[in-house]
Amino acid sequence: MSKELDAHERLIALGVIVPDEPYSPTKGKEGWYSQRLKAKLEELDKQPAKVSQLQRFKSDVPYSKLVGAALDAVIAGDQDTAMQLRAELMMRFRRNDSQVEAALFKEHTNRQNGLEASQEPDSIDLTRLGGIDFLVDGFIPARDQTQIFGKAGTGKTTAALAIAFAVINGTGLLDHSHPAKPASVLFIASDSGAAPLIAAMQDMGVSHHPALSTAAEPRFYVWAAEPSQGASAWMADLRGCIRLQQFVQEHRIRLVLIDSCKAVCSAAGLEYTDNTLVTALLTYFKEVICAHTAVVWINHDGVQSGASAGAKAWKEIPSAIHQITKDEQTQRRTWNALKMRVGRERRFDYDLRDGQLILSSGEKPVGDCEAQIVEALSRAYEQGRQYLNRSELREQVCVVGGPSHKTLDNTLSKVVRAKHPAFTRVDGRQGCYRLASRFRDALEAQI
C-alpha cells in the first residue's frame, strides 16, 4: 500500500493528477497509481534533454541540493524538470507536496536575503533597525502585511478599492484624515475576476480615473483572468511570487491587494489551511515582497466567530488584522481593527452610500497632530527642557479648536513606533516625550 501512496504523491508532483484529488484505496489495491506512474516515467524517458537533467539526481545527492536544483528549474521556467525534481524529493525524502513547496519558498527567501552560506550572527543589532510607518494612516502599515476579512456581501472588495484609491489620490480613509503619500497600486483579482471589480469601481465613480490611463505610466494595475487580453488569474505558487517581486520593483508599486487568500492558493494547488505552507508563503512575502511594498490579503470569515478562515498563520504573521461586518437590517458596516502592531486597535461604524465609504453619524474622525507636538517639544527644548509629559502636551496642543485628546494619544502612539520618529519616549520616564536627535541637532545649530 505504501508503494501506491508514494506513486499517488509522485503523480501529483508530476501534474498527472490534480493536487486535491484524494488517494483512493480501491485504486491502490488495483495498482492503478503505480501503473500510471510507470507510464508517465516511460513517457519522460523519451525526452533525452529532460532525462539527462534529472539523471544527475538519481543517486545520493543530498536534500538541500535537490531543493536548490528544483528552485533553479522554477526560476528558469523549466516546468518539466521542476516537477520531476519535486517528485524525487517527495519519494526519496518522504515529503508531501506542501512540504516541498514550503522548502522552495524558504530556499528562495534565503537566496534573496543573502543567507545561503553566511554565518548566523550571535545577535542582531537593534540600533540598525527602525519601527513601522503607515502607508494608509490607521489602517495599512508600510512594507508589511495586512489581512482584511469578513463574510460575503460585507463589502470587502469595495473597502479594498477605497484603500487603493486613498493611496493613489493621497488622501485619508474613514476615521483617519491624515493623507497617504501618493503611490502606485496593484490589485490582484483572482477570486471574483475583473468584471465584479469593474462593477465596484463604477459604483465608486473611479472606473475612468486618470490612474487607469495607459497613455502614460498607469498608477492602478490589475491582474485578473481575461482571456481576450491573454491574461490568466495570478496564483501564489513560487513562480507567481517571483513574478510579483519583479513587477513591484520594476513599477515601484507601494501597495498590493490580493483577493483572495483562498483563490490564489487553490489556483496554485496549495492548501490555504496548511499552516506549514502558509507560514512559508507569508514569511516569503514578509522578507522578500514586503521589502518593496505593502500587501493586503483579503480573506473570508472562519468557522470561529471573529476569526478569519484558513491556517493560523493568516492572522499570526500580518502586522494588522481588520474585520468588516454588516448589519443586515440597517445595512450599517462595522470596521474592527483587531490587531495593530503600529497605532491602536479600535472599532467604528461606517455606511456604504453610492459606492463611497462614509463614517457614520456620531463617529469622530481621528486627525494627526505630529507637527503641533514637534512644535511644542521644540519650544520646550529652546527653553532648556529636554522633554514634556503627556499632560503638558495636552495643555499646549489640545487648545480650543485644536486637536482632541484622542488625536494626541493616537499620534503619540503612532509616531514613537515609526521607522524614523520625530520624537521618542524618554527612557525611565513614563508618559514623557522628547525630540528626536536630528531635530535637537537642528535647533542647536540655530542657537
pLDDT digits (tens, 9 = 90+) for 174-204: 999 889 999 999 999 998 788 889 999 999 9
171 and 245 housed in the same domain? yes
387 and 440 housed in the same domain? yes
The owner of cell 469601481 is 201
* Helix, strand, coil in percent for the chain, rounding step 5: 45, 20, 35
Residue 216 has pLDDT above 80, yes or no: no
Q: For residue 338, give Cα distances in angstroms to 132, 256, 302, 306, 307.
A: 18, 21, 15, 9, 10
Residue 32 has pLDDT above 70, yes or no: yes
**Residue where a domain terminates, one of 359, 388, 420:** 359
pLDDT digits (tens, 9 = 90+) for 304-347: 777 788 999 999 999 999 999 999 999 899 999 999 988 788 89
Of residues 257 and 306, more confidence is placed in 257
Residue 44 has pLDDT above 70, yes or no: no
Supply the range of the domain harboring residue 78.
Answer: 2-95
Q: Say if 110 falls within a structural domain.
A: no
In angstroms, how far apart are the furthest CA atoms of the chain?
90
According to DSSP, the residues that pair with 326 across neighbouring strands are: 333
pLDDT digits (tens, 9 = 90+) for 108-165: 888 887 765 556 777 877 777 777 889 999 999 999 999 999 999 999 999 999 999 9
Q: How far apart are CA 90 and CA 84, in angstroms?
A: 10
If phi > 0 it is left, if psi is from -120 to 50 it is alpha, else beta; for residue 252 that is left
Q: How far apart are CA 70 and CA 47, in angstroms?
A: 18
Q: Say if 121 falls within a structural domain.
A: no
**Residue where a domain terminates, one of 300, 333, 359:** 359
Instruction: For residue 23, give every residue at least 6 positions away whose Cβ sits within 8 Å of its Cβ, in sequence order, or none.
Output: 4, 5, 8, 33
* Domains contained in the chain, number: 3
Q: Say if 375 falls within a structural domain.
A: yes
Instruction: For residue 369, give every residue at least 6 positions away whose Cβ sits within 8 Å of its Cβ, in sequence order, or none.
Output: 397, 402, 403, 407, 408, 411
Residue 50 has pLDDT above 50, yes or no: no
Q: Say if 152 falls within a structural domain.
A: yes
Q: Model pTM?
A: 0.79
Q: Say if 118 falls within a structural domain.
A: no
